[in-house]
Amino acid sequence: MEEFFEFDIPDSFLSQLNEFSGGGYMLFILDAEKNVRIYGKVDEVTSESHLNTQIKGWADAQEEINKQNILESQTESYEGTDDDDDDDDDDDNFFLKGI
């Protein structure tokens, strides 16, 4: 089994990141064991609000993309198994109605 070591981003790097930012940062990383590690610093409440809004927007967009990919995958899978070309019964697509 591969051994992982604990790693923290150096404070000097985070300080430089903050200096380069326009008021703060949020950094999400995966460590060697695939745990999410979050580093962040904001200079004022409005900067935090802006970052939170952007993070939520990004997460919402990713969720929609994932939903669309799943729907497309299911649709392609369903269309690929249609062996009954002579039957025009629209009830075959019942699971797609209302989406």
Closest CA to 29 of 52, 53, 8, 60: 8
Question: Do the beta carbons of residue 55 and residue 39 sit within 8 Å?
Answer: no
Higher-pLDDT residue of 5, 43: 43
- Residue 75 identity (one-letter amino acid): T
pLDDT of 83 above 60 = no
For residue 16, the model assigns a pLDDT of 95
Domain range annotation of the chain: 11-81
Task: Decide: helix, strand or coil at residue 85.
Answer: coil
Residues 28-72: pLDDT tens digits?
A: 999 888 999 999 999 999 999 999 999 999 999 999 999 999 999
Give the tens place of pLDDT for each residue, 7-29.
789 999 999 999 999 899 999 99
Average pLDDT over residues 89-94: 52
Which of the four pLDDT bands, split at 50, 70 and 90, describes residue 99?
very low
